[in-house]
């Protein structure tokens, strides 16, 4: 294959492991992601109210409470964590305050009031799953009466206790959508379980994010995303990273400021046309396909030299910085002197063994 016109350099210290979250010590805080919120001369006072589990679940069922508005993250609690919440309820422990926000929905052509869940989605999903019978409590539960049981298997008095359990909620009279994003960000920015991508999902929600989420889900196998990663929206982050590099190149990556890089991509993508979105995605998807042709199961896995000698082995864990390198390297056929994509594809396939060997030597 012709020599490339540009080289992509990587620094081992900047590599990102599949199992690691973004390091907050290496990121500059991204602030100012929402529009300023004016409280006026008379700041609103929101008073929490009490409602039962049944009234809340009924509101969810009829759609007047929206558990997963577009800016919300995905439901990711596992069975154990959901069951622990149900146990807390039967132990009589008060649940934390649920935050909701005023919203509007259209029913049969008429605009009616609704509420969107801003904070408490995981807890409400757990209550819903238990009530609907899709969550069974583990056999080793600390609450003897509910061990190994779903809601339908409970004795009548326990069913009633569940439905009558008191929840505290606060509905915030916030009209502008941007203010809801700010509220979501503010409630969750100090959370140890909210990822940077989930915050981006809240702050940068729009046409481009909808496009990213749909295609990231479709490209899960090519991105090599696990179910755990998917639940935390890492698939969306990985695709955003690749599209950001497609746009800016490695020269445009600000050192140790991944959040800024991705936030800038979200803002730029929102201004693009749908056809631009599809065109750029097609380039990234083609590069992912080429990486699979060349490296197969070794793609995104670095080659590690042992402490002694020159022998080594391919790492078992994936390296997302290496993913970016491989995709960026294979994204543009013209960079290597090819006049069309198909001839580049043929060359990549025919010389894949040599490419893999060169990659091994680089590591």
Cβ atoms of residues 327 and 288 within 8 Å: yes
Cβ atoms of residues 52 and 167 within 8 Å: yes
Distance CA(215)–CA(229), nearest Å, equals 15
Distance CA(43)–CA(111), nearest Å, equals 27
Instruction: Quickly list H helices, 272-351.
Output: 274-295, 320-329, 341-350
pLDDT of amino acid 271: 95
Residue with token string 């910085």 = 321
pTM over 0.85, yes/no: no
Residue from 221, 202, 171 nearest 70 by CA? 202
* HSE, side-chain direction, 13 A CA sphere, residue 200: 28
Question: What residues contact residue 235 under an 8 Å CB cut-off, 6+ apart?
Answer: 216, 217, 219, 220, 223, 225, 229
Strands in 98-107's sheet, in edge-to-edge order, are 49-52, 166-172, 98-107, 110-119, 65-66
pLDDT of amino acid 295: 95
Residue from 352, 363, 203 nearest 289 by CA? 352
Do strands 110-119 and 98-107 pair parallel, antiparallel, or not at all (unpaired)? Answer: antiparallel
Question: What is the dihedral angle through the alpha carbons of 135, 136, 138, 139, rounded to the nearest 10 degrees?
Answer: 180
Per-residue pLDDT of the chain (363 residues; tens, 9 = 90+): 444 433 333 333 333 333 333 333 334 444 444 455 566 677 666 788 999 999 999 999 988 898 887 767 778 888 989 999 999 999 888 888 898 888 877 777 887 888 888 888 889 999 999 999 999 999 888 888 999 999 999 999 999 999 999 999 988 775 544 456 666 666 665 544 457 787 677 668 789 999 999 999 999 999 999 988 998 889 999 999 999 999 998 888 877 788 889 989 999 999 999 999 999 999 999 999 999 999 999 999 999 887 666 678 899 999 999 999 999 999 999 999 999 999 999 999 999 999 999 888 876
Which two structure tokens, joined as six digits, stand for 146? Answer: 């509910």
């Amino acid at each position: 294959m012709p020599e490339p016109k540009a080289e992509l350099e990587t620094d081992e210290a900047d590599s990102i492991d599949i199992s690691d979250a973004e390091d907050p010590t290496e990121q500059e805080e991204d602030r100012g992601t929402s529009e300023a919120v004016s409280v006026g001369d008379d700041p609103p006072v929101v008073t929490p109210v009490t409602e039962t589990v049944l009234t809340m679940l009924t509101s969810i069922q009829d759609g007047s409470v929206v558990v997963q508005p577009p800016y919300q993250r995905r439901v990711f609690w596992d069975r154990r964590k959901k069951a622990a919440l149900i146990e807390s309820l039967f132990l009589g422990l008060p649940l934390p305050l649920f935050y909701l926000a005023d919203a509007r929905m259209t029913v049969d052509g008429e605009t009616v009031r609704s509420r969107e869940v801003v904070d408490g989605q995981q807890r409400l999903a757990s209550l819903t799953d238990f009530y609907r019978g899709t969550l069974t409590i583990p056999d080793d539960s600390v609450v003897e009466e509910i061990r190994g049981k779903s809601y339908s298997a409970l004795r009548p008095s326990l069913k009633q206790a569940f439905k009558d359990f008191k929840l505290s909620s606060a509905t915030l009279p916030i009209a502008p959508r941007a203010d809801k994003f700010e509220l979501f960000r503010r409630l969750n920015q100090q959370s140890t379980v909210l990822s940077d991508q989930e915050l981006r999902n809240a702050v940068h929600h729009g046409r481009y994010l909808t496009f990213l989420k749909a295609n990231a889900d479709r490209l899960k196998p090519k991105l090599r995303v696990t179910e755990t990663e998917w639940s935390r929206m890492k698939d969306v982050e990985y695709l955003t990273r690749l599209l950001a590099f497609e746009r800016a190149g490695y020269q445009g990556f600000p050192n140790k400021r991944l959040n800024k890089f991705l936030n800038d991509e979200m803002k730029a993508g929102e201004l693009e046309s749908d056809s631009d979105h599809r065109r750029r995605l097609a380039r990234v998807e083609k590069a992912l396909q080429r990486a699979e042709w060349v490296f197969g199961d070794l793609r995104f896995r670095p080659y590690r030299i042992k402490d002694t000698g020159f022998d080594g082995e391919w790492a078992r864990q994936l390296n997302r910085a290496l993913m970016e390198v491989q995709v960026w390297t294979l994204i543009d056929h013209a960079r290597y002197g090819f006049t069309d994509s198909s001839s580049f594809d043929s060359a990549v396939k025919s010389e894949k063994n040599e490419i893999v060997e060169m990659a091994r030597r680089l590591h």
